[in-house]
Amino acid sequence: MDLTTIWFLAIAVLWTGYFVLEGFDFGVGMLLPVVGRDDTDRRVMINAIGPVWDGNEVWLITAIGATFAAFPAWYGSMLSGFYLPLLAVLLALITRGVAFEYRGKVDDPRWRRRWDVAIVVGSTVPALVWGLLFANLVHGLPMDAGHVVRAGLGDLLHPYALLGALTTATVFLLHGAVFLALKTDGPVRVLARAVALRTALVAVPALVGFLGWTLAQRPTGWTLPVGVVAVLALVAGTGLTARGREGRGFAATALAIVATTVVLFGSMFPVLVPSTTDPAFSLTVAGAASGGYTLQVMSWIALVMLPLVIGYQAWSYWVFRRRVTRAHIAPAH
């Protein structure tokens, strides 16, 4: 296995970690007005992800940085084709981060409601857009010989891409509900379980349809069983959460996201972006990669830094592992 393939796998791992960890963050944010009956419940929900949400975004920063360094042509093609959607994601993440910090700065219900809306919007937009963008990468884009994508926003909104957006949003919603059931206690935990069951009625069929469509477009022999694992894990996670086994339920929904991401990246190898203009213009892993020296330097940096980052994040999750309840919430001031 050469360095080009290794770095493709490394980027796939980074995106997988981002979707698993930031996925429940997005789910909690989208559920804020649904599970949070009052301001105290909403503060319980925010405190459940408060110590980890910003650390989870490091995976996105690392994935994008690694793509820029290891596959600059891939990075350039995605940026040229997805400029507006990626701008929407960036603005949503900024708004969401500001909302987390400013929500409690003023003791005014209207002030908090406005920031709650910002949290919901800032969580929903990325959850939808990531599914939309990765579906387009699998489906293919109008790309010329210079690997410049000539696609307008309307070209990205075809049925398969919209199904991808629905799938990521609902799966993240379910993942977030299971996380709340695991990380909180009291009314939030009870409502999160109920929401997880209702969300599964949409998330499971959406995942089945999306993975089936993906396998039909980019068939590879080994991705079919992985797709089956994704669907079964999502069903199992819902059932385990309903029976009060939230830890196993969260592991199962995380496995479903991992398996789904594996199917997506497996479908994109070795053709990263198929060209709908002319198949000869398609961007491959080998054609998009940086030189060997660049990949070698990146490999040594990753060997040193990645274990430190993973170790620190694992430690932070261990420190803040206890459930959050209404009793832990101090009066608003």
Asked if residue 2 belongs to a domain, the reply is no
The answer to which of 185-189, 202-206, 227-231 has the lowest mean pLDDT is: 185-189
Mean pLDDT of 140-163: 90
Angle at which helices 159-183 and 246-267 pack, to 10 degrees? 150
pLDDT in tens, 16-35: 999 999 999 999 999 999 99
Asked if residue 3 belongs to a domain, the reply is no
Asked if residue 126 belongs to a domain, the reply is yes
Asked if residue 151 belongs to a domain, the reply is yes
pLDDT in tens, 73-88: 999 988 888 999 999 9
* Phi/psi-derived region of residue 164, left when phi > 0, alpha when psi is between -120 and 50, beta in every other case: alpha
**Domain residue limits at 300:** 8-328
pLDDT in tens, 217-258: 888 888 999 999 999 999 999 999 999 899 999 999 999 999
Q: Phi then psi for 329, rounded to 5 degrees?
A: -95, 120
Contact 237, 207 (CB under 8 A): no
* Phi/psi-derived region of residue 35, left when phi > 0, alpha when psi is between -120 and 50, beta in every other case: alpha
Asked if residue 1 belongs to a domain, the reply is no
Asked if residue 161 belongs to a domain, the reply is yes
How crowded is the C-beta side of 12, counted as CA atoms within 13 Å? 21
Q: What is the pLDDT of residue 221?
A: 81
Where in the chain does DSSP place strands (E)?
A: 271-273, 283-284
CA-wise closest residue to 149 among 84, 215, 67, 211: 84
Asked if residue 171 belongs to a domain, the reply is yes
- Residue 331 exposed, middle or buried by CB count within 10 Å (0-12, 13-18, 19+): exposed
Q: Is the pLDDT of residue 333 over 80?
A: no
Task: For residue 321, name the pLDDT band (cuts at 50, 70, 90).
Answer: confident
Q: Which residue has the tokens 């069983």?
A: 225
DSSP structure class, residue 154: G
Q: Is the pLDDT of residue 332 over 70?
A: no
pTM as predicted: 0.94
- Residue 234 exposed, middle or buried by CB count within 10 Å (0-12, 13-18, 19+): buried
Rounded Cα gap, residues 192 and 179, in angstroms:
8
User: For the chain, how many structural domains are there in total?
Assistant: 1
pLDDT in tens, 268-314: 999 999 999 888 999 999 999 998 899 999 999 999 888 888 898 89
- Taking all residues of the chain, what is their mean pLDDT, rounded to a whole number? 92
Q: Cis omega (within 30 of 0) on the bond before 72?
A: no
Q: Is the pLDDT of residue 107 over 90?
A: no
Measured from the Cβ of residue 293, the count of other Cβ atoms closer than 10 Å reads: 8
Angle CA 97–101–107, to nearest 5: 140
